[in-house]
């Protein structure tokens, strides 16, 4: 009824390797893409620049982490540090006079090099040990940022980003910033959608499932792990640079602290490992829900005329938010992406599958 299918049946490999195996999925994606394009005209500017924009950039970043954690199965606790490398090198390049297009690529490549250099050392260990080594990377980067004024921008450690300009156009409006973020997020999403269909994607999944089994099949697992780290670091670097260039306008070490690393990992896990749509949901939950719940609680308490002191009022949303994460993971341990998948699967051949029971 909703999907107008009686099931998904592939008759050949071409149909099996399509991005959208169900036409309704493709239509839905196209519809959402159009809404995204029209967002500046239909969404009030407050929501555009303080919800939509950070949401899209963080989604791109989370997709990058999902590549290494969800697809290649390598736990990464130093993702914010990689974002910091990209952000700082791009901004320094742009301040030096390099055009922003190249500055962003320089940021991505520097991240990529440092991220994979580190992975080269870190990947000699696996699992929790790898997680700890990546955490070490985060601390090294924090230390470097707080101890080198030349990088972090003076004794108070804040580095101002020059005005973003792409293709000869200076970008200064909310709409402009939004489209930059939207464009980057769409690019990363397209890359990730296609990754599933390529040999690289399949190799990564093989490495995730069992790296020595993959090696037996002729997949060089070390090489693919490094490749996953390098690619995800590139995405992280550009996302970090764009976050500063379009949202914060100056870089400070706290924007890329260990807490942020854990937050991105939470986005990926709550969203669902290896799920693209899940990353969108996960980022929305981790990044936006605290602010939204805070607003709701404040409105509610104002409306009811209650005399709650400000500190309690600030902690209620945190409790609600924490409970929300626990509840979601209890209902569906595989994350919000899977939750969406369940609903979709249920409706796929609805109502006729009811007869089977």
Question: Residue 90 or 112: which CB sits closer to another protein?
Answer: 90
Pick one of 5, 24, 43, 313: the residue that binds another protein (CB under 8 A). Answer: 313
H helices, E strands: number in the chain:
17, 4
CB of 283 to another protein, least distance (A): 11
Question: Residue 98 or 109: which CB sits closer to another protein?
Answer: 98
Judged by CB under 8 A, the stretch of 121-129, 148-156, 183-191, 220-228 that binds another protein is 148-156
Pick one of 23, 99, 127, 154: the residue that binds another protein (CB under 8 A). Answer: 154
Residue 35, φ and ψ in degrees, nearest 5:
-60, -40
User: Mask 318-347, x = binds another protein (CB under 8 A)?
Assistant: x-----------------------------
Tell me which residues in 81-120 interact with another protein (CB under 8 A). Answer: none
Q: Is the peptide bond before 137 cis (omega within 30 degrees of 0)?
A: no
State the DSSP string of 67-133. Answer: IIIIIS----S-HHHHHHHHHHHHHHHHHHT--HHHHHHHHHHHHHHHHHHHHHHHTTS-HHHHHHH
Q: Which residues pair with 99 in a beta bridge?
A: none
Reduced to 3 states, what is the DSSP secondary structure of residue 317?
helix
Tell me which residues in 275-304 interact with another protein (CB under 8 A). Answer: 287, 290-291, 294-295, 298
Residue 250, φ and ψ in degrees, nearest 5:
-150, 150
CB of 296 to another protein, least distance (A): 12
Cα separations in angstroms, 167 against 34, 40, 124, 208, 239: 23, 21, 42, 39, 18
CB of 323 to another protein, least distance (A): 15
140 binds another protein (CB under 8 A): no
CB of 161 to another protein, least distance (A): 8
CB of 311 to another protein, least distance (A): 5
Q: Which residues of 251-279 are buried (b: 16+ CB within 10 A; e: fewer)?
A: bbbebbbbebbebbbbbbbbbbbbbbbbb
- The binding site for another protein (CB under 8 A) comprises 46, 49-51, 54, 146-147, 152-158, 160-163, 247-250, 252-255, 287, 290-291, 294-295, 298, 309-311, 313-315, 317-318
């Amino acid at each position: 009824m909703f999907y107008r299918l009686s099931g998904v049946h592939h008759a050949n490999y071409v149909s099996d390797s399509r991005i959208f195996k169900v036409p309704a999925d493709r239509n839905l994606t196209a519809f959402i893409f159009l809404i995204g394009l029209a967002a500046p005209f239909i969404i009030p500017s407050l929501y555009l620049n303080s919800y939509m924009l950070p949401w899209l950039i963080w989604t791109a970043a989370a997709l990058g982490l999902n590549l290494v954690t969800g697809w290649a199965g390598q736990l990464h606790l130093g993702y914010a540090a990689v974002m910091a490398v990209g952000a700082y090198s791009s901004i320094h390049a742009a301040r030096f006079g390099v055009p922003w297009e190249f500055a962003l690529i320089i940021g991505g490549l520097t991240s990529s090099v440092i991220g994979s250099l580190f992975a080269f050392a870190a990947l000699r260990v696996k699992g929790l040990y790898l997680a700890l080594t990546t955490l070490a990377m985060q601390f090294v980067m924090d230390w470097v940022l707080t101890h080198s004024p030349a990088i972090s921008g003076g004794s108070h450690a804040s580095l101002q980003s020059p005005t973003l300009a792409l293709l000869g156009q200076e970008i200064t409006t909310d709409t402009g910033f939004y489209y930059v973020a939207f464009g980057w997020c769409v690019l990363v999403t397209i890359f990730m959608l296609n990754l599933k269909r390529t040999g690289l994607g399949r190799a990564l999944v093989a490495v995730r499932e069992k790296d020595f089994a993959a090696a037996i099949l002729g997949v060089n697992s070390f090489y693919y792990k490094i490749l996953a780290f390098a690619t995800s670091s590139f995405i992280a670097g550009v996302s970090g640079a764009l976050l500063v260039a379009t949202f914060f306008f100056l870089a400070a070490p706290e924007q890329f602290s260990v807490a942020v690393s854990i937050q991105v990992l939470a986005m990926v896990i709550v969203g669902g490992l290896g799920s693209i749509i899940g990353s969108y949901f996960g980022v929305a939950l981790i990044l936006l829900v605290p602010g939204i719940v805070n607003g709701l609680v404040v409105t509610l308490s104002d409306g009811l005329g209650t005399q709650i002191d400000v500190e309690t009022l600030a902690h209620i949303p945190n409790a609600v938010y924490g409970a929300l994460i626990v509840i979601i993971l209890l209902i569906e341990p595989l994350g919000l992406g899977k939750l969406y998948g369940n609903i979709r699967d249920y409706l796929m051949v609805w109502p006729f599958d009811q007869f089977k029971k």
